[in-house]
Amino acid sequence: MKSRVVFTVVMCAVFALVLAAGNSFAAEKVSKVKVGVMFGLTGAASPVGPVQVQGARLAVKEINERGGVNLGGKKVPIEAVVKDDETKPDVAIRRYRELLQEDKVHGVVGSTFAPIAAAVNKEVKKSPTTYFAACVAPIAMFKKGELADTSFGILGDAYSIGYAGAAHIINKLGIKNIYFFAPAYAFGWDQHAGAKDAAAKYGATMDYIEAPVGTSDFSSYILKIADKKPAIVMMAHWGVDAINVLKQSNELGLNKKTKMWFNWMTQVFGGGVPPEALDGVYSLMWWNWNMEGFEDATVVKTTNDFVARFQKEYNVVPDPYAAVAYMSVKELVRGIEASQSVDPKAVAAAIMKSPKFESVKGPGIWRQDRHALFTYGAFVVQGKGAKDRKTKDDLVKVIGAYTGEDYLPPLKSLGY
């Protein structure tokens, strides 16, 4: 009889410990919300990674200025834990593990290169936290079964960029002879896949060439494109490669021989080349700091308000990728507050239960595959030459927007 009593007491104690462990994410146990901020601060992504950190830090500062995160009936501070993934997937995985195991973060906002987003997503499946990929991710990452239950992609996938760009070129510019120049990795290949689908749908022809990531001299590729005399060339490069290919295209006169479309422009890339290298170049941008003249007055006002706060903090205008990181932190905190938990599954479920959110570029909503769909999926811009710039940061003019959902991959194609 005595042994039964002892056994019962022991089992009750074990059960209590299990409950305590299962409740380790309880709101009342959190005195500070810690968010991992991991970007490519060195390596090929280094032109963009630092501005992403700026956006994330501004969001953290604003949340703390309002008193902190509403959690467990009180306001708790939020802290950014910054890591450099060095633009290397293996390093990113190690840094991710450090963030979870050593720094005990409650979510991660990060990635500057598509392959790193994919690598981190795989790690999230093994060791979950709420993860916001603050870069364009490979389309394969969003497939059902591949996407971690707690991963989100606020910038979506590279396929969409290629599709939207080619569709605009064909249907709005009236051009049906396209040459596609890609970097030889997922970011470029996915863009090409989207562009090919748009070309097939709308009746255009497309030639293709690719160069290895980290190519320092693009001369042979640029000259080959020039010899083909296409009506327009689409360029799908990123990071240091993006700046180099734009500079060298100007130096070799490619922009005098054909129209140029740079698939995914940022303030960093445009500001990294001479004005004449950007003059007249068409691009898509997720968002631009200067929305002057855009038809939606609400987007203009929201943009101006954010830009003012960012300039006050950093004395520079924000890059689109700074705005993406800012929004990612805000969405992470929205999920924590809605769920009243830092458990990643609870946070993700709360976000998807109320999928609509506001952003610097207007209303957004999370799709079932956790792509973020916006009223304005991307803005169409054209580069300004030196004579048209009002300030040194006035790089492009917004000339339109890509709306609707057709440029995103159909949910059915991703297994939903």
Dihedral sign for Cα atoms in the order 146, 149, 150, 154? positive
How far apart CA 305 and CA 146 sit, in angstroms, is 38
pTM (two decimals): 0.89
pLDDT for residue 22 is more than 70: no
Homologous superfamily of 159-285+377-414: Response regulator (3.40.50.2300)
Distances (CA, A) of 194 to 188, 191, 200, 411: 10, 5, 10, 15
Q: What is the pLDDT of residue 404?
A: 80
Homologous superfamily of 31-155+300-374: Response regulator (3.40.50.2300)
**Strand order through the sheet with 107-110:** 78-84, 33-39, 107-110, 131-133, 151-153
**What tens digit of pLDDT does each residue of 237-267 get?**
999 999 999 999 999 999 999 999 999 999 9
Distances (CA, A) of 29 to 33, 227, 303, 328, 335: 11, 66, 37, 24, 17
**What tens digit of pLDDT does each residue of 140-188 get?**
999 999 999 999 999 989 999 999 999 999 999 999 999 999 999 999 9
**What tens digit of pLDDT does each residue of 378-400 get?**
999 999 999 999 999 999 999 99
- Kindly list the domain boundaries of the chain, sorted by start residue: 31-155+300-374, 159-285+377-414
